[in-house]
Amino acid sequence: MELTHLDEHGAARMVDVSGKDVTTRTATATGRFHTTPAVIELLRRDGLPKGDALAVARIAGIAAAKRTPDLVPLCHPVALHGVSVELALGADCVEITATTRTADRTGVEMEALTSVVVTGLALYDMVKAVDRGAQLTDVQLQTKAGGRSGEWTRA
């Protein structure tokens, strides 16, 4: 198997995507932020000491998707045309879903994954005063579409 991010000498390199076609590309990633039922109740009624944690987390996730190439060294800068971050409150967790969209020469999977992780980090920062044991788990790509490899969905 050829590793595309290594040259013939094994050195890291950025893949040249200039010959690829511009296509519409989307990706969706998910993660789960585990906390206590008491913290979920505080989130439901905007009762955390630091303010509206869900709004802050959503904005952090959107901003993170846009900054992915600054954080992941070999990622291409992609002109994102859309980023959505959905937060669903469960009994003891927040389900995070990030979807990224572009029309470009390379995919937006890393942007969706980065969005989920930073959304979770922002949630942690907002709730740590009341739950230092909260944790982000199960970060994974769910779907991607577009480009030469077409569509992929997690089984």
Specify binding-site residues for substrate: 74-76, 110-111
Beta-sheet strands, E only, within 6-63:
23-34
User: What gap in Å lies between CA 104 and CA 119, rounded to an integer?
Assistant: 24
Binding site membership: which residues?
Answer: 74-76, 110-111
What does 73-133 look like in DSSP terms, one character per residue?
TTPPP---SEEEEEEEE-SSEEEEEEEEEEEESS--HHHHHHHHHHHHHHHHHHHTTT-TT
92 is catalytic: no
- Map residue 12 onto helix, strand or coil: strand
Which H/E stretch holds residue 142? Answer: strand 135-145
Residue 48 φ then ψ, to 5°? -80, 145
Q: Which among 52, 92, 125, 131 is annotated as catalytic?
A: 125
Residue 28 φ then ψ, to 5°? -130, 130
- Map residue 68 onto helix, strand or coil: helix
Question: Catalytic site residues?
Answer: 125
